[in-house]
Copies of this chain bind each other. A is one copy, B any other.
């Protein structure tokens, strides 16, 4: 064994020691799961609801859960011929029966309703689904999950610890999680990568060479072209890309993290130091160093799930950039943060522009256009000067919004912001400039500022 391999193995053992569930944890999980599955079947029978079975799915079912995470996914599968209304109604009836002994619960809505509850310290989702024959014939997105469960259980062999290592590595490097906030790697994707490459080490070493267009097709049955940077064909559905949610930036960041790890392995990749919030003094220091202009649009965060909130924040950020760009402001960077309030933060070359603005007109020899342009600008109050350059009319005219702050204060609502954000912004928003950023005190916002444009 080389020195490098020894070092890697030592890290591996230290990581596993922290993330491998203890026997005690496993025993408790098994007990809770058995209890829930039994209760579900009893409830169905009692209410004369015909279900096929109740099953545990997800990482808890596959032995790929990280110590300390207590998420359980219980799927209640109904015969395929059940109507959607029947499934939704009966599914909830059974779920509510289980929730009677929960510490807390609430009904939630994805493609159809499900129930989430806190039960003996576990975070449990009770999800009704159709028992279809194959993943390619699903009636609802969740119907796929049981097939994933079967595939992973059949192929994972004894590679569960490799999955744990890869998940923790991805968590530590900020690329784990397929929800729309992160657009990273899902648990199932992680498992497939381990099954394909055979070990954590082999995934990491292979990923160093990944490029967009990378295709992994375990069963060689892919039948659709995908445009995402990474394509991992679902073994249970040849048309589906398991990595469809992975953004190009998370893809690139993972490649980078793998290269840095191969170069200098360390525990820090798995367990990075948490970032400290920036102090006011540090915020001012950054402004002073960069000497660019920051604008923050601040408003109350609407009460919606993250998978709705974050795409709307992304859209808002893009449309704010576009609005600023249309008015001549050069945006260097942008980002968004959400907590109790939400913030879209924009860094510009400058938040002020001169009053004069070049307005390009038509060539002088396109007579009708040229005459309209000339008569429009010749004597207008807003015109500083009118001249010919390279045969075209140019009018130097007055800029409407020489200050970005005023532009956002007057025109933010003309941006398309998404339904719930539009409502939230309508209730009121503030535009803060440069040192006014210090008035946003939330710790997690200050951590977001510390990360500002750092890989």
A contacts, CB < 8 Å to B: 208-212, 229, 248-249, 251-253, 255-256, 259, 289-293, 328, 332-333, 347, 349-350, 353-356, 358, 363-365, 367, 370-371, 374, 384-394, 396, 402, 452-455
Contacts and interface: CB of A to CB of B under 8 A. Distances in A.
A389 to B, nearest CB: 7
B259 A371 contact: yes
Contact of A292 (B356, B389, B455): B356
B452 A212 contact: no
A209 B387 CA distance: 19
27 contacts: A211-B365, A212-B391, A248-B390, A248-B391, A249-B389, A249-B390, A252-B388, A252-B391, A252-B392, A255-B364, A255-B365, A256-B374, A290-B354, A290-B355, A290-B356, A290-B396, A292-B354, A292-B356, A332-B356, A332-B396, A333-B358, A385-B452, A387-B453, A387-B454, A387-B455, A393-B455, A396-B453
B364 A252 contact: yes
B387 A358 contact: no
Contacts of A347: 356
B453 A365 contact: no
A37 to B, nearest CB: 44
A354 B293 contact: yes
Given A252-B363, A350-B354, A358-B332, A291 B402 contact: yes
B289 A396 contact: no
| Residue among A208, A248, A391 having the largest count of chain B Cβ atoms under 10 Å | A391
A289 B381 CA distance: 12
Nearest to A211: B365
